[in-house]
Chains A and B, each alone.
Chain A
């Protein structure tokens, strides 16, 4: 079983819609959760971090964490064509010498 799994995609939504990206993780002891955006040919860019159960909002982005279900999601409201990218879910497991585990990413396309 992979540490971090994401819905395979690709996900295609019209401009202005809500894009919903999902991620599950295998280790119940995981402590920190991150979403990275990666444009084609570019490196991952951190867009959200979440550490406790519930929702965290930042502009058009909302991260949701449910530790009991081992589930993390990212909602993008009012999606724009510039949001078209691969979104990587990352989960930190371990203490001070822990490690960040990445999913394979979900490719999102927002069409005008």
Chain B
């Protein structure tokens, strides 16, 4: 069974430029998460989708970040404009359902460097 797929794996952009990340979850997983991981820290949730609905986006900096999951499968996270502090690894994860007993599986991540 294929795991969570993300692209690109690496991205280097100048500040103020836009950037987008793509994620395809494990087949059959209804819940999709975007996390950000800074160096030396654990992942922090940005947004969670149940099918097409964003059910938890309280941690998403909405002035510059946006996300969509139009058909309830793959998802795109966008930053516009990027700032130096956005340099991090952006991780996508999925689980069968949301809830206490559903394990989350991560994709390989996108390492973003903003110069």
Chain A residues engaging chain B, CB cutoff 8 angstroms: 4, 31-32, 34, 36, 42-46, 49, 51, 88, 90, 92, 94-105
Contacts and interface: CB of A to CB of B under 8 A. Distances in A.
Given A88-B42, A96-B98, A99-B56, A43 B109 contact: yes
B11 to A, nearest CB: 15
Given A97-B98, A98-B99, A102-B43, A43 B106 contact: yes
A46 B103 contact: yes
Contacts of B56: 97, 99
B91 A43 contact: yes
B98 A32 contact: no
Nearest to B6: A43
Nearest to A32: B100
21 contacts: A42-B108, A43-B91, A43-B107, A44-B91, A44-B106, A45-B106, A88-B42, A90-B42, A92-B100, A94-B100, A95-B99, A96-B98, A97-B55, A97-B98, A98-B99, A98-B100, A100-B104, A101-B42, A104-B41, A104-B42, A105-B40
A51 B43 CA distance: 21
A88 B55 CA distance: 25
Given A102-B44, A104-B40, A104-B42, A46 B99 contact: no
A94 B108 CA distance: 27
A32 B101 contact: yes
A43 B42 CA distance: 11
Given A43-B91, A97-B56, A103 B105 contact: no
